[in-house]
Structure 1
Amino acid sequence: MEIVDYLIIAVYLIISILIALYYSKRAGKDTNEFFLSGRNLPWYLAGISMVATTFAADTPLAVTELVAKNGIAGNWLWWNFAFGGILTVFFFARLWRRAGIVTEVEFAELRYSGKPARFLRGFRALYLGLFMNVIIMGWVNKAMASILNGLFGIPETQVYFFVFACMLFVAFYSALSGLWGVVITDAFQFVIAMTGCIILAILVVNSPDVGGI
């Protein structure tokens, strides 16, 4: 790592904070603005945010391993997510907006009643909010730890302190800016990540050690 690499990281962090500060006033208006961006989020920003949310530190590593082991067809393990995304955008989104709700739990409260509804809310809270999110956060942060260890040479005994610091940074700008700030930051991160991946892919494919696809 050279000094220019550290400067790039510093600039990225500063821009993220500036975005959060810019949208903090709007986010502070009310809960509707904070959690739903006032229901005025442009479709293209919502779409970019959906894609960026699934593009974590582990994504390039995981996709590379899938292709190395199974060929291009290995990508179908995550390409199939596109079908659910298309249904969400073109079918479920309009129904969700029409319901005027904020969360899935609120939808269950409106649509169902009695003990079955309480069981459904409790199950989803435990399964998605606890079990699934713990697994997802675990593998994403493990990937981040591997990247920090490989690029910066941070010992494994210390690397998770840096991961925790990154988590606090993300929590800070998310709490400060609300959904608007998060979505704009997602778009900023998406441009950086996709540009970097495309450049890296070209360099790797044209590398004499690889010799093409």
Structure 2
Amino acid sequence: MRWWLPLLFVIYLSVTSGQDADANDAAHIVASKFALSQYAVEGMDYVIDYRLHNVGEKAALRVTLDDRDGFPTQAFEIIRGLLQVRWERISSGGNVSHAIVVRPRIVGVFNYSSALITYYPSEDAKEVRISHTTAPGEGYLKKNFYLMLSYTYQKKVYDQKFSAKLGVWLVFLMLVAPSTVIPFALWYHSKTKYSQGAPSKKSK
């Protein structure tokens, strides 16, 4: 009976290696989700971009992206794009992109979660494969406050820090005027005086 043991071991190795080959010879979707807008503020457009890449050996079929849990309609107004989209096929080495524009309705903390990705990894696959996009994490929204993952600006502070003001330009002009206007006035005065004092040439 001992001669059965090597045979069973060979059969086991062939089955497991076949399963590994099937797993490698299939589609594999790598997806990302990130904000194109640097700041988010209540009532203003906030742009989200999705990228899906098929790094597998076969085409991914019936690929769906679902981010309805990430941006519920009671908290966000959908301005452009869909939170649930589908692609019939993403070829091996291919990629697709999708973008949405939302406007926050509420203030406070919201979960900036990953989007759900589902697809069939091959033509003969019987079960759907599930994966997720990347997710930056938790964000914070407050009325008249901008969201940045590392720092939060009040709108007034943001305007003072980044917006160009008329008063700043007036101060700048006052500072540079003495070094530009006075030399120009002296030069123009001397030029006029020289022109008036120079003898006119007589025509031959």
Same fold (TM over 0.5): no
Q: More relative contact order in 1 or in 2 (CA 8 Å, sep 6+)?
A: 1
User: When you count strand as a share of all residues, which structure comes out higher?
Assistant: 2
User: When you count helix as a share of all residues, which structure comes out higher?
Assistant: 1
TM-score by length of 1: 0.20
TM-score by length of 2: 0.21
